[in-house]
Structure 1
């Protein structure tokens, strides 16, 4: 444990585990990280089932705590998605990946970027394929990392493996860094002796998903930047230009038309209460994010409403379908049972509507229904998708057809992004021109009236 500062304060970890005789035991163990806590328990002949930090003091307490989801509930079909608050909360806990005690805490942000994780996995796969022993492979890959926090995490993972923990156990101690899909593939690869193959498949999957994610983010960022620039331009006009005309209007001592009074009122708000405007905007954003994160019904409503937004709703739906089918294809090809694969996808998807639908599909599949019938019953998958799934089930090539669906939707995503980018510029010109034109007309109306009086 030389990679940790000797002065690092140890945390108290609550654990639940089983002894060699199968007895269930609970208690606490002192350790600076979750992995070291697991190692200590192993040395006591206790197989840990769950472990989480009893209190939080520092950066490590948020990262090292095990926040794996324990929810195992399902939800009604789409027609009933907005009924039953208790069941909505079950979906809320599952999709968020939080246990009951953590559901009101702010979600910890990963200290490692997606790009860094992808590069690490790529290096790790290359080194393992070269036949380098596992612990030596960790040393080689760790030496190539620049992110100090990531280095500490990888050193802790290596320590766990070195002391008898499996790869999936060690990596699984960092759920905010490594997703559940990666952990599942590690577990399957270790058990089946096909770790290299599955990691290679996961790497291909992650690179594809990350590429689509970057394209979608770029498409969403452009209109946001345009809106911010427009707001800044309007603020300058209302804050500096309109007040100059206001002085002229006051010297005229004439009755001003309603449009001019509205513009002057907006200008007064910007000039004298700009701080209140900022507070209100920040407050509304925070209130929206808090409500979205903590109230399941509200999030269901927002996640459903987004699909009805022109172009952007189409982009969101296609992105979700692409990732959903690609993930299911990957898991199914790796030999994961369909029921377990659907469960994993429900935990990974970040849209409540798709998360609830996936759980409902899982429930139907458990009851003996085909994947095609279960997907069709949700009414959120296009007919083309469900028909190809039906063909895949009949032909015994479900993983191949699911991947084909994902590839098709990736192309569709590119087309939608191009349409959005092509639409934004003219739409911005029209909207900004209309707003600025309205302000200019409102400002000059009194001057026109004054000219008529003088004439």
Structure 2
């Protein structure tokens, strides 16, 4: 049954705009007349139009920072009393250098003029806008609080961006150490060892097993530089591709959860995002079950996603959120269940979730510092053992050669 968008006048002369389902246009007009409305306009509502998007390298995508700026700017413009259509025109002009975002905003403007809500066009591009983004905007449209919802969404996206940035920043120094150690190993194997191997062969020195092993590896690498480089690049690309897949993510999470500090960091990140996202969804008027469904797909943590899906079944049976958390202390510590229990009893669940999110965001900062403090000496030790082992394999034959000369 088609849907029709209408504008009518009531008995007091006030204008109303909404939509109605009917067999055809005449039936829709008859239904509105029966309700006592004077029909001004009536047109069939079309489907959301989604066209192919351009992609130009780094400009052919939408980053987390783009989403933050989009929500912040849109909230500011709407707060100033500018109609949504005009607000989109301003954003289209301001994002002329971002082809993909500009195209989506143009589609949003076109579909808005056809009567579609703003959230529907964002929902048509799930690869750029996650469920929590679409869900919050949809809730803001339904409740008439789009301005406040956009502000809350912008704040949440900013916090998520800051958390991700802190994690990346904390990993910079360990990655530099790994890169430096890898570079030293490559230098020794491809340039130093081949030359020394020639000298060792002429002197008839008995080589230790570790030196023989490294000399053979060096011969393979030096004799097949193209295939070695190709194999190395293929391995790196293959690993990146694998760890972006669900199976790879599960394996990576499984490995990281066996490292004490990393396990805590993953849990604190999940709890901080869970609490803040659910708080914003509830604040926007989204029911708890629907909110949990959105959170499950937005966390990016497979273990928590499975637990949240199971929780939904228990909530349908009338079990309180705090009691559900108490059964899952491995995922939701006692602090979470206690604060949620207080929030449910006092009707301040949003405030309790805000407190939990703030607490675990601070824990993320503290744990990141601990993790870096733990990784630095560990990586230095590993790098020292590897480089020291290679150096020892080179020095032992040299000492034997010097002994023969004496």
TM-score range, shorter chain: 0.7 to 0.9
Deviation string 1:180-199 (CA, Å, 9 cap, x unpaired) is 21211222111211111111
For structure 2, list consecutive stretches of 5 or more residues without a partner in the other structure.
Answer: 4-20, 25-41
Query: Which residue among 177, 183, 186 is the counterpart of 1:235?
Result: 186
CA contact (8 A) 2:74 2:150 kept: no
Number of aligned residues? 368
Aligned to 2:369: 418
CA positional deviation for 1:299: 4.7
Query: Which residue among 101, 107, 111 is the counterpart of 1:150?
Result: 101
Aligned to 1:264: 215
Whole-Å Cα distance in 1 between the matches of residues 46 and 323 of structure 2?
41
CA positional deviation for 1:154: 1.0
Larger Rg: 2
CA positional deviation for 1:173: 1.9
Does the C-alpha gap of structure 1 residues 215 and 387 become closer, same or farther in structure 2, counting only changes over 3 Å? same
Whole-Å Cα distance in 2 between the matches of residues 431 and 276 of structure 1?
27
Counterparts of 1:387-398 in structure 2, within 5 Å, are 387-398=338-349
Query: Which residue among 320, 323, 337 is the counterpart of 1:370?
Result: 320
CA contact (8 A) 2:111 2:121 kept: yes
Please, what TM-score do these two structures have when normalized by structure 1?
0.74
Whole-Å Cα distance in 2 between the matches of residues 293 and 300 of structure 1?
10
Counterparts of 1:144-223 in structure 2, within 5 Å, are 144-145=94-95, 146-223=97-174
Structure 2 residue matching 1:248: 3-state secondary structure: helix
Structure 2 residue matching 1:308: 3-state secondary structure: coil
CA contact (8 A) 2:53 2:103 kept: no
Deviation string 1:21-47 (CA, Å, 9 cap, x unpaired) is 589xxxxxxxxxxxxxxxxxxx99466
Aligned to 2:297: 347
Deviation string 1:252-274 (CA, Å, 9 cap, x unpaired) is 12321111112212222321234
Query: Which residue among 55, 61, 64 is the counterpart of 1:111?
Result: 61
Whole-Å Cα distance in 1 between the matches of residues 23 and 245 of structure 2?
38
Aligned to 2:276: 326
Deviation string 1:106-134 (CA, Å, 9 cap, x unpaired) is xxx97112112211211111111010111
Aligned to 2:254: 304
Please, what TM-score do these two structures have when normalized by structure 2?
0.82
Aligned to 1:134: 84
- The alignment status of 1:251 with 2:202, answered yes or no, reads yes
Structure 1 residue matching 2:327: 3-state secondary structure: helix
CA contact (8 A) 1:112 1:150 kept: yes
Does the C-alpha gap of structure 1 residues 300 and 433 become closer, same or farther in structure 2, counting only changes over 3 Å? closer
Q: CA RMSD in A?
A: 2.8
Whole-Å Cα distance in 1 between the matches of residues 322 and 220 of structure 2?
57
Whole-Å Cα distance in 1 between the matches of residues 60 and 301 of structure 2?
20
CA positional deviation for 1:288: 4.6
